[in-house]
Amino acid sequence: MSSSSTLVNASSKATPSAGPSLMAQMALRDISVLFRTPWIIISRSLAFIIQLFVFAALISQLVNVPGLDFFQYYAVGSVVGTVGSIAFIIGYDIFEEAEEGVLDYLLTLPVSRRQFIIGRALGGAVRAMVYATPMFVIVAVLERFTNPLSLAVAFFDLFLLAFGITGLSITMAVSVRSANRFDVVLALTELAIARASTALYPIAYMPVYVAALAPFSPVSFAADSARAALVGSSLDLLSLAGLVAFVVIFLGLGAAFYFRKLEGGVYA
C-alpha cells in the first residue's frame, strides 16, 4: 500500500530551501496512497450512503422532537464522522510501513524529519478532505446550504478536525506495537470519539455520563461549529477554539512520538 515515486522525483532535486515543496510532496504521496487503495474508498463511501439514505432517512421517521430536523442534523454529523474516519487511516498506513520496512526506505530520502512528519500529517488531513468533499456537496445540495461563507467555515472546521485526528492517529500508530491490537484500539477510539459526540445526536438526549464527556470530543467541536455555520449562519467561537486546541495538542504529540520512534525506537 505504499508508493514513493512522487517523492523520489521531488527529493532527487531537494535543496535546503525546498522545505514546503518537500512537505507538499510528502502530502501528495499520502493522497496517492489512499487513492491507490480503492477498497477503503468503496467501503467508506458505501457506509456514508447507507447511513444517510437508509439509516438517517428511516430513523428520522421515528424521531419526533419539536424543532429538530433529525435528518438534517444527522446529515451534517455523518460528513463530520466520515472526515474523522478517513483521517484515522493515516495511522494504519504508518503502522504498515513500519511493519513492511518501507519506513526504513522513506527515512533514507533527503527530507528532514520535521518536513517528513508535518508532510505526513498534512497528507492525512488533505486526503480526508479530498475524499469527503463529494459527501459534503451531497449534503449541501440535499439541505440547500448555499451561503458561501457558511460553507467555507464548515469546510475549515472539517479540515481542522482531519488535521487533529491525523495527529491522534499517528500518535497511536507509533505507541501500539501489536498489529492486531493496533487495529482494534484504533477502531475503538474512532467509535468512542464519534459516538460520544454531538455528531449523530443532540447532547440534550444523551445519558448524563455521555453528556458530561461529549462537549470535549473533537468531533463535537467540529460538528457544532459546522452546524452553527451551515444551519444558523453563525460562528461558534468556543467550538472553533476547542478544535484548534485539539489540533495543536495532537499534532504536537503525534510529531513528538513519531520523531522519538524514528530516532531509535521500536522501528529502528
Interface residues with another protein (CB under 8 A) are 1, 37, 39-40, 42-43, 46-47, 50-51, 54-55, 58-59, 61-65, 70, 178, 180-181, 184-185, 187-188, 191-192, 195-196, 200-202, 205-207, 209-210
Instruction: Determine the angle formed by the axes of helices 89-100 and 179-195, rounding to 10 degrees.
Output: 170
Complex with another protein: residue 42 or 130, whichever CB lies closer: 42
Phi and psi at residue 100, to the nearest 5°: -90, -5
User: In the complex, what is the shortest distance from the CB of residue 50 to another protein, in angstroms, rounded to a whole number?
Assistant: 5
Query: What is the distance in angstroms between the CA of the first residue and the CA of the last residue of the chain?
Result: 21
User: In the complex, what is the shortest distance from the CB of residue 155 to another protein, in angstroms, rounded to a whole number?
Assistant: 27
User: In the complex, what is the shortest distance from the CB of residue 185 to another protein, in angstroms, rounded to a whole number?
Assistant: 7
Alpha-carbon distance of 105 to 4, in angstroms, equals: 9
Complex with another protein: residue 11 or 198, whichever CB lies closer: 198
C-alpha cell at 241: 477554539
C-alpha cell at 247: 489540533
Of 216, 79, 201, the residue nearest 151 (C-alpha): 79
Complex with another protein: residue 66 or 264, whichever CB lies closer: 66
User: In the complex, what is the shortest distance from the CB of residue 95 to another protein, in angstroms, rounded to a whole number?
Assistant: 13
User: In the complex, what is the shortest distance from the CB of residue 187 to another protein, in angstroms, rounded to a whole number?
Assistant: 8
Within 10 A of 152 (CB to CB), how many other CB atoms are there? Answer: 11
Complex with another protein: residue 88 or 201, whichever CB lies closer: 201
Which residue's entry shows cell 504536537?
A: 252
Percent helix, strand, coil in the chain (nearest 5)?
Answer: 80, 0, 20
Complex with another protein: residue 2 or 112, whichever CB lies closer: 2
